[in-house]
Structure 1
Amino acid sequence: MIKILLVEDEGIIAADMENMLETMGYDLMETAMDYEEALERLEEGTPDLILLDVNLGGKKDGIDLAEVINERFSVPFIFTTSYSDGPTIQRANTVNPTNYLVKPFKKEQLFTAIELALLKIAGEKKLESEKPETEGLVIKDALFIKEKYRYTKLPVSDILWLKAEGNYIEIYLAEKKELIRMSLSHFLEKVNRPNFFRTHKSYAVNLDYMTKFEPTMVTILESEIPISKSYAEELVKRIEVM
């Protein structure tokens, strides 16, 4: 049975959603009303999916919570929100939600959003299992990409930005993209260069190619890379030092 955590600060809406979810046959964890309660629930057990209200009461909202979910728990989530304006959606996109559900919604819409999210998650897991066994070896200032019995040298300085996909990294260069089997944390540890900066759980950039920096986005040449709030604050300090 699919286990779902509901994070909703309005009691009437929470009760209505709980009733809909129970009649649809999902296994519900105890509902969290705010940021702190949600973290407590996640410490107690891991759900398969989170229904997360964007506009939580308190100093920290659902997008702040989503950053922590990505960094510490790696649980997919659907944003539920009464807001569909550009700035809210742009900020929400930086934390990679699995889906959006705009309030008010009906039971059928909730069911469809959940099932589509679960289908997407299953598809991503399938793609992960089908990726080729391409490994990488970091030696001094170069990354050697292994394909079967051959190693191809790639200068680390040529890397623009990186995106983590499970146990793999997509490496973006000026003219092409490479895929290697290695975690992003392991890569950054091996490279150990100050110009490689993590902007998100799933992204890192080469600051030598940064052309613009905004609160939710870093531009590398012409590519816009999401940056979470905590990393943005760290980057501001880094820039001030530079």
Structure 2
Amino acid sequence: MSQILIVEDDMIIAANLSLQLTKLGYDISGIVCKGEDAIDHVQKNHPDIVLMDINLKGNIDGIDAAIAIHLKNEVPIIYLTANHDDVTFGRAKATQPYAFISKPFNKINLQRTIALVEEQIKEKEHHQKDQVLDNLEVLDDRIFVRHNGRMVKIMLDQILYIEAERNYCNIITKMGKFLVVSTLKTLENSLSKSSFLRVHRSFIVNVSKLDAVADSHLEIDRKVIPISKTYKEFLMERLHMI
């Protein structure tokens, strides 16, 4: 299920949202009450969806926060609003949100809106997967990536790790890095689970290349890579099998 960040300065509403979403099976990435905190949280935690109140207290409102978030992250935003004036709607619409939820919300409206947004996300990922076929071809033991106008062969055992960069990924090898048009999820689904493992929302690692594993990070070729709690259990199980 999706991880959702709640940005709401009314703590009663925020707590109600968190309770309803948890009952529906969603993970709450966090609850913040200021736009500045939302920007910071998205940058550090990369939630799947942001529920953003438009009328936030503080220096910036929800729309300004969404604009700042989208400068570095393309996380889907659902606006929460009790304000229906045309000027506010126009500003919000310009940020290309996935949906609006009017206050006061009800459980059914919340559930259906998020379900529809998840469908939009899946459709976008499928579209990006179709796009990546023109830039990346994955075979049993190698991949071909488009680099400097030609398709370059990279053996899978040469890959150290893969790092997400918005809708692109950097494939890191000893020879250098190769930028491909793909989400990390698309690459994760294309690569062998026996050799490659997701350890963070932004990283896939080649398990055979691990140099060290600590409580909150691992190391590959002197690169320190964070380990998320979500993926740590799978990593440890995988290491015990080796």
Whether the aligned pair in 1 keeps the contact of 2:167 and 2:182 (CA below 8 Å) is: yes
1:30 matched to 2:13? The reply is yes
Number of equivalences? 168
What residue is the counterpart of 2:158 in the other structure? 158
2:139 and 2:210 mapped to 1: Cα distance?
Answer: 25
**Which one of the candidate residues 52, 56, 63 is aligned to 2:32?**
52
Change (3 A) 1:179 1:30: same
SS of aligned partner of 2:174: coil
Whether the aligned pair in 2 keeps the contact of 1:30 and 1:41 (CA below 8 Å) is: no
1:111 and 1:189 mapped to 2: Cα distance?
Answer: 41
The alignment yields a C-alpha RMSD, in angstroms, of 4.1
What residue is the counterpart of 1:220 in the other structure? 220
What residue is the counterpart of 1:122 in the other structure? 70
TM-score normalised to the size of structure 1? 0.54
Q: CA deviation at 1:152?
A: 1.1
Q: Letter of the aligned partner of 2:212 in structure 1? A: K
2:220 and 2:68 mapped to 1: Cα distance?
Answer: 28
1:117 and 1:172 mapped to 2: Cα distance?
Answer: 32
1:77 and 1:40 mapped to 2: Cα distance?
Answer: 23
5+ unaligned residues in a row in structure 1: which ranges? 8-16, 20-28, 44-48, 54-75, 81-91, 98-106, 127-132
Whether the aligned pair in 2 keeps the contact of 1:32 and 1:38 (CA below 8 Å) is: no
Whether the aligned pair in 2 keeps the contact of 1:5 and 1:30 (CA below 8 Å) is: no
What residue is the counterpart of 2:200 in the other structure? 200
1:200 and 1:36 mapped to 2: Cα distance?
Answer: 26
Q: CA deviation at 1:151?
A: 1.0
Whether the aligned pair in 1 keeps the contact of 2:184 and 2:202 (CA below 8 Å) is: yes
SS of aligned partner of 1:236: helix
Q: Letter of the aligned partner of 1:111 in structure 2? A: N
TM-score normalised to the size of structure 2? 0.54
Percent identity between matched residues is: 22
Q: CA deviation at 1:34?
A: 8.9
2:238 and 2:173 mapped to 1: Cα distance?
Answer: 24
Whether the aligned pair in 1 keeps the contact of 2:46 and 2:201 (CA below 8 Å) is: no
Q: CA deviation at 1:162?
A: 0.8
What residue is the counterpart of 1:95 in the other structure? 45
SS of aligned partner of 2:157: helix
What residue is the counterpart of 2:230 in the other structure? 230
Q: CA deviation at 1:209?
A: 1.5
Whether the aligned pair in 2 keeps the contact of 1:217 and 1:224 (CA below 8 Å) is: yes
Please show how residues 3-152 of structure 1 align to structure 2 within 5 Å.
Answer: 5-6=6-7, 17-18=9-10, 30-32=13-15, 36-37=19-20, 39=22, 51-52=31-32, 77=38, 95=45, 110-111=58-59, 117-124=65-72, 135-147=135-147, 150-152=150-152
Q: CA deviation at 1:216?
A: 1.9
